[in-house]
Amino acid sequence: MTPTTTAVLVPLLPFLGAVAGFLLGRRAPGFVRPLAVLPTLAAAVLAAVTAAAVGTGPATDVATRLTPTGSVPIDLALHLDGFAVLIAVLVGVVATCVQIYSTGYLRDDPRYPSYAALVSLFTSAMLLVVYTGDLMVLLVGWEVMGICSYFLVGHYWETEAARAASLKAFLVTKLGDVPFLFGIFALAADTGTFRITGIVGSIARDGLDHPTLIALLLLAGVAGKSAQFPLHTWLPDAMAGPTPVSALIHAATMVAAGVYVVARLLPVFAASAAALVVLAVMAAVTMIGSGLAALAQDDVKRVLAYSTIGQLGYMTGALAVGDRGAAVFHLISHGAFKALLFLGAGALIHAAGTNSLSAMSRMSGLDRRVPDAYWTVTVALLALAAIPPFSGFFSKEAVLGAAEHAATGGAAGIPGAAGWTVLISGLIAALLTAGYATRLWLLAFRGSGPEAPDHSPQPLAMKAVLWVLFVPTAAFGLTAPFLPDWFDGRSLTPTLTTSVLGTGIALVGGLITYATWRHTTAPATRTAADGAATDPGRVLLGPLYRPAAAGFHLDAVYTTLFVRPVRAAAVLVRFLDREVVDTYVRAAGTGPRWLGAAVRRAQTGNVQTYLGALLAGALVLAVAAVLVATGTGA
């Protein structure tokens, strides 16, 4: 099979699996699990085959046009280059892991068939986004992901939180998608095509008329999808969904879609220095803010969600300094270790019976209860904190190296300000990342108190998946010397300055947190009942703790700025509709009714009255006719 054939099959198989799952889900429960796992697994294998076939060679472009669509044609196009095939492999592997994990995690869930089909559909859409070479087709996958995310976040729709979170996720990402759509149209109007290769070629040839406007419009959609400030607020709430969904959608794939689109369209952003600076500032605010917020969260999954936001900030930062190789490198390694973290956290929650870190800190022996999760999560947290030799170290150093490169003026066309912003905020965020990773580990596995309750043993599927994901988490960084051949060719190996700086800062962050934890737990043995007192984040953040725990009250700000005006407008519209518009409508009904009542009074049933009226009318008509006929009238 040619790479094209396999690449077509990769999104198609999960899609067919999803359709079959929807159709057969209720009637044939026995087929649901194979239908969920096998197409995704096959897609992952085919994605790997495609990656091997495309390899480090030139990008493969295939397009077919089903029907003419007017001035700007829309093609069913495939664009297979190093970025696409590697991310497709990541998506396929993570999706397969999630599907296998879900068979254990949701084995008693009555809605598992639709859940599995939605995950398959989601995977298919993501793979479509990754492989497509046409922005319109990309948008289709983009929106399908949005709607799947809505359904999956709202999987436990019996709970108020899940309903609110799914709506919020949908609305906030849509808020970004509208400018994104406009941006795509503006881009197509400017370059005359929806094909990404065509757009990039056109920009290289002629440039863009309004690069800043287009880039900022696209940026809004990216910020919504990739949960960047200020549209990130949906991601922590989306943790109300099942944990595998968080692992798949909100860590490894969907949120990466925004970063991926920027990486594909990087020439558009690179054409506007202003857009790059905005991107850098956005990344900086996101990284630091999410790091602070993660340090204050009590829910394991919310810690991981904020950490996801922060790591996505690293990726956008890498894009802001024009190095998409570093961004995609970090995307892939982050996808692997964050999926592992989420799945491990799922195992942890499963074992502890709670989401709360402070509750876990009052249990001891959680590490012995779930040894697989303990070891894998520990390594994944080290990778998250960018401790060598794990994957996160290499990818983060690539980002920091690119930022340093840009800051010192080594990158042409990239503003130095963007480089400095990304570099400094990246270092601060590294400190924070190490801090919250340590805090998470200490609180979850080094708690003191009664033994953790003994729940049912973990299913094999869940354990195995953790070790499958453990491999890239631990070892993906070693591929750093070979990746440039797949990407733009820029070196991704760590430079000495940033590695020492980054690792040192990370170690400092981890040690400070550990010291604070020791400090707080020592007297806390007396007041062990107050579990929150052992939280090192509370001490470290000081007065910032409360706002950080609440996500810096951004939701409250949004409530004041947007929700209340919209509600007030809705009340006004309702008033206008009920009291003003409906008045006319009601009057339109009442008027004829009164008229009818008046006319009805004439219907007396007295035949003589009818006849009299009839004759009088006939008489008037006859006289009028005579007058007209004789010409004497009028």
Q: State the minimum distance, in angstroms, from the CB of residue 613 to other proteins.
A: 8
Structure tokens at 117: 């089909």
Q: State the minimum distance, in angstroms, from the CB of residue 600 to other proteins.
A: 5
Query: Containing H/E element for 191?
Result: helix 160-191
**How many angstroms separate the Cα of 54 from the Cα of each of 86, 256, 366?**
10, 22, 45
For other proteins, give the closer residue by CB, 525 or 606: 606
Query: Containing H/E element for 514?
Result: helix 496-524
Q: State the minimum distance, in angstroms, from the CB of residue 631 to other proteins.
A: 13
For other proteins, give the closer residue by CB, 590 or 604: 604
Query: Containing H/E element for 405?
Result: helix 391-407
For other proteins, give the closer residue by CB, 570 or 614: 614
| Dist CA 40 CA 48 (whole Å) | 12
For other proteins, give the closer residue by CB, 412 or 602: 602
Q: What contacts 603, CB < 8 A, 6 or more positions away?
A: none
For other proteins, give the closer residue by CB, 562 or 610: 610
Sign of CA pseudo-dihedral 352, 344, 356, 432: positive
Q: Tell which residue, 122, 121, 408, 80, has the closest CA to residue 256.
A: 122
Q: Tell which residue, 166, 147, 148, has the closest CA to residue 156.
A: 166
Q: State the minimum distance, in angstroms, from the CB of residue 27 to other proteins.
A: 57
* Residues at the contact surface with other proteins, assessed by CB under 8 A: 600-612, 615-616, 619, 622-623, 626
Q: Tell which residue, 280, 308, 282, 279, has the closest CA to residue 293.
A: 308
For other proteins, give the closer residue by CB, 561 or 614: 614
Q: State the minimum distance, in angstroms, from the CB of residue 615 to other proteins.
A: 5
| Dist CA 115 CA 121 (whole Å) | 10
For other proteins, give the closer residue by CB, 68 or 605: 605
Q: State the minimum distance, in angstroms, from the CB of residue 607 to other proteins.
A: 6
Task: Please measure the distance between the N-terminal and C-terminal CA atoms of the chain and give it in whole angstroms.
Answer: 93
User: At residue 153, what is the residue type?
Assistant: V
Q: Tell which residue, 229, 224, 226, has the closest CA to residue 554.
A: 229
For other proteins, give the closer residue by CB, 565 or 612: 612
| Dist CA 195 CA 72 (whole Å) | 10
Q: How many CB atoms lie within 10 A of CB 195?
A: 26
Q: What contacts 504, CB < 8 A, 6 or more positions away?
A: none
For other proteins, give the closer residue by CB, 23 or 595: 595
Q: State the minimum distance, in angstroms, from the CB of residue 593 to other proteins.
A: 14
**How many angstroms separate the Cα of 415 from the Cα of each of 44, 210, 275, 322?**
39, 18, 10, 10
Q: How many CB atoms lie within 10 A of CB 464?
A: 15
Q: State the minimum distance, in angstroms, from the CB of residue 587 to other proteins.
A: 24
Q: State the minimum distance, in angstroms, from the CB of residue 624 to other proteins.
A: 11
Structure tokens at 272: 């506007």
Q: State the minimum distance, in angstroms, from the CB of residue 609 to other proteins.
A: 6
Structure tokens at 134: 């046409």
Q: State the minimum distance, in angstroms, from the CB of residue 617 to other proteins.
A: 10
For other proteins, give the closer residue by CB, 64 or 608: 608
Given a contact cutoff of 8 angstroms between Cβ atoms, the answer to whether 200 and 254 are in contact is: no
For other proteins, give the closer residue by CB, 460 or 623: 623
